[in-house]
Homo-oligomer: A and B are copies of this chain.
Amino acid sequence: MSNTKGYAAYSSSEELKPFDFDRREMGPKDVKVEIDYCGVCHSDIHTAHNDWGMSEYPIVPGHEIIGHVTAIGANVSKFKEGDLVGVGCLVDSCGECPSCKDDLEQFCFNGMVMTYGSPDPVMGGVTHGGYSTQIVVTEDFVLKVSEKLDTKKVAPLLCAGITTYSPLKHWKVGKGQKVGIIGLGGLGHMGVKFAAAMGAEVVMITTSPEKGEDAKRLGAKDVLISKDTEEMAAHAGTFDLLLNTIPVEHDLNPYLPLLKVDKTMIVVGATPVQLHSMGLVFGRKSIAGSLIGGLKETQEMMDFCAEHNIVSDVEMINLEDINKAWERVMKADVKYRFVIDMKSFR
């Protein structure tokens, strides 16, 4: 008997298909969540297609989960039945290593347990994510969600949101700074909203002039077309930070001259890049990586969103339509995130 319905990838080449499976028995610190919404992240597709060479099948994607608590273990103290909650990219970590003690569970020395596709320490096989009706998660990896926001638009905050919020916060974005967001997709549109809410002057840097108007609606003050070498030269040496959200192989070199002396470009995509160190050496510039965020910071981001009324721009779908949605994600044809309405699937 299976207690959970979902959709899974059965191999790297097939479409997602229905998959019934068991969630684990409730432990004393566990929270059971009935899933209302799940965002569709490009990582879901990379994992299903085994683009990173680590996938084990079948696999249920989904790590932007919003739902309601339907049961709690005996020792759960932070949540009660009926609470609106979120589950993001992580569902567990060792809790003991220096990274975990620093609230950087995403860098756990013993390996974070990702919401899907990680070895499942309880059930065996791999963990299964949010393209499903319910999930059981230890309470320290469950997030509180404000009732103030439009809940279906909150789901993408759990990955697209924290992936952009964390570096902007870590590199201390604020008033008086000029911040460039490179690429306007699921991540980029959140980067614009956050950097603007933090008080920075935001410039959308894109190859696509037609995205300019939308970038301004999201909070960008200016739009810089990266193919326009004259315009790029006019902005040289003026940026305090660049957040590069480009998810595919690309050339970093044209962006480095935009930075002021001693400033940083953050990359959040995991991809090969072209680089000549000349662009770093002149001006003592840096390129840094950033990966989602720890649980404490993710909760802080959720609270920041409630305070500043920040949500994602989403397009709702039913779970049955996931394969069509993925095709559109692969063509970057979504503004700016698909969210699955799981209520349609119960």
**Which residues of A line the B interface, CB within 8 A?**
98-99, 102, 104, 107, 109, 170, 237, 261, 264, 267-273, 275-291
Which of A264, A276, A279: most chain B Cβ within 10 A?
A: A276
From known contacts A270-B277, A270-B278, A277-B271, infer whether A286 and B284 are also in contact, taking CB-CB under 8 Å. Answer: no
Q: Once bound together, how far apart are the Cα atoms of A282 and B106, in whole Å?
A: 8
Give the chain B neighbours of A287 by CB distance below 8 A. 280, 286-288
Task: Say whether A281 contacts B285, CB under 8 Å.
Answer: no
Q: Once bound together, how far apart are the Cα atoms of A291 and B279, in whole Å?
A: 11
Task: Say whether A267 contacts B280, CB under 8 Å.
Answer: yes
Copies in the complex: 2
Task: Say whether A281 contacts B276, CB under 8 Å.
Answer: no
Contacts A267-B280, A280-B287 given; 8 further ones with Cβ under 8 A? Answer: A104-B284, A267-B277, A272-B276, A272-B277, A277-B289, A282-B291, A283-B291, A284-B289
Task: Say whether B277 contacts A269, CB under 8 Å.
Answer: yes
Interface CB pairs A-B, < 8 A, 27: A102-B261, A104-B261, A107-B261, A107-B282, A109-B237, A264-B286, A267-B281, A268-B281, A269-B277, A270-B276, A271-B276, A271-B277, A272-B276, A272-B277, A273-B276, A275-B275, A279-B289, A280-B287, A280-B289, A281-B291, A282-B289, A284-B288, A284-B289, A284-B290, A285-B289, A286-B286, A286-B287
Task: Say whether A261 contacts B99, CB under 8 Å.
Answer: yes
| A273: contacting residue among B237, B264, B277, CB under 8 A | B277
Residue of B nearest to A279 (CB): B289
Residue of B nearest to A281 (CB): B289
Q: Once bound together, how far apart are the Cα atoms of A273 and B279, in whole Å?
A: 11
Give the chain B neighbours of A273 by CB distance below 8 A. 275-277
Which of A107, A268, A279: most chain B Cβ within 10 A?
A: A107
Give the chain B neighbours of A288 by CB distance below 8 A. 280, 284-287
Task: Say whether A270 contacts B264, CB under 8 Å.
Answer: no
Q: Once bound together, how far apart are the Cα atoms of A107 and B271, in whole Å?
A: 30
Give the chain B neighbours of A98 by CB distance below 8 A. 261
Q: Once bound together, how far apart are the Cα atoms of A283 and B294, in whole Å?
A: 12
